[in-house]
Amino acid sequence: MTRTSEIDRYLDALLAVGQFKDYGPNGLQVQGKAEVQQVILGVTASRALIDAAIAARADAVLVHHGLFWRGQDGRLTGWLAERVKRLMAHDINLFAYHLPLDAHPELGNNAALGARLGWRADARFGDQALGFTGALAEPVALHALADRVQKALDRDAVVLPGDGRPIRRVAWCSGGAQGQFEAAIAAGADVYLTGELSEPQMHLAAESGVAFIAAGHHATERYGVQALGAHLAERFGLKVQFVDLPNPA
């Protein structure tokens, strides 16, 4: 058993929570039991994930996407009430780390996504230096690189081809980071990988010649929380279990 407050303090320091300007609070979002042994890990604190934690008799849920975001009006009604009610009825702690979990150089989403793809970063770019960029060991064709991404993530990706140049430098940022495409281009990338695609990226890829791959918001953000969970298991002897609830977005 580890005290909830100790885990909160530890993660706050480990993930340098105070250094980020984020869209919601990072850390303990819903307080439950004072001590934690079993933790359910997931991408999003959805009702389905919370139900899985209840079924597993977990003491805590650790996620990338928590419950509270800028733009909400503060009311605990509807879907949000249902989620909070379930957590509180079962005394389950909810820990959520958004941008600090994207950014961590070893345990974060981008570090873990890079490790899964065999990409090593030699620089960071974009908003709050969340983006990772690095050189490949050898130049590859875009279709070979896209194949590798799809196999590694077990998911189809949308690929915008750019100008067909060999890929020497890659840049990546997990989740909904399509808005960082221009920063990736400025950082010298030949391809940019993120989770989501919006309308402007089609034109930017065509006009800049830099390829763009959208491999899924959920799919690209599954790995940080697992790396962080493994770290907590080792550090505190916690029992952790990742629950994947696939999402086509």
Residues lying near Zn ion in the complex (CB under 5 A) are found at 175
Kindly tell me the sign of the dihedral angle through the C-alpha atoms of 16, 19, 24, 28. Answer: positive
CB-closest chain residue to Zn ion: 175
- What's the burial of 165, exposed, middle or buried (CB within 10 Å: 0-12/13-18/19+)? middle
- Measured from the CB atom, the residue of 162 and 175 that comes closer to Zn ion is 175
Q: Using CA atoms, how far apart are residues 156 and 150, in angstroms rounded to an integer? A: 6
- What's the burial of 51, exposed, middle or buried (CB within 10 Å: 0-12/13-18/19+)? middle
Reduced DSSP (H G I as helix, E B as strand, rest coil) percent helix, strand, coil of the chain, to 5? 40, 25, 35
* Minimal distance, residue 175 CB to Zn ion, in Å: 3
- Measured from the CB atom, the residue of 134 and 176 that comes closer to Zn ion is 176
* Minimal distance, residue 176 CB to Zn ion, in Å: 6
- Measured from the CB atom, the residue of 38 and 247 that comes closer to Zn ion is 247
* Minimal distance, residue 3 CB to Zn ion, in Å: 29
- Measured from the CB atom, the residue of 190 and 196 that comes closer to Zn ion is 196
* Minimal distance, residue 232 CB to Zn ion, in Å: 20
Residue matched to tokens 């993120």: 194
- Measured from the CB atom, the residue of 130 and 142 that comes closer to Zn ion is 130
The distance of Cα 5 from the centroid of its chain, to the nearest Å, equals 24
* Minimal distance, residue 202 CB to Zn ion, in Å: 22
**Residue 103 in contact with residue 20, Cβ under 8 Å?**
yes
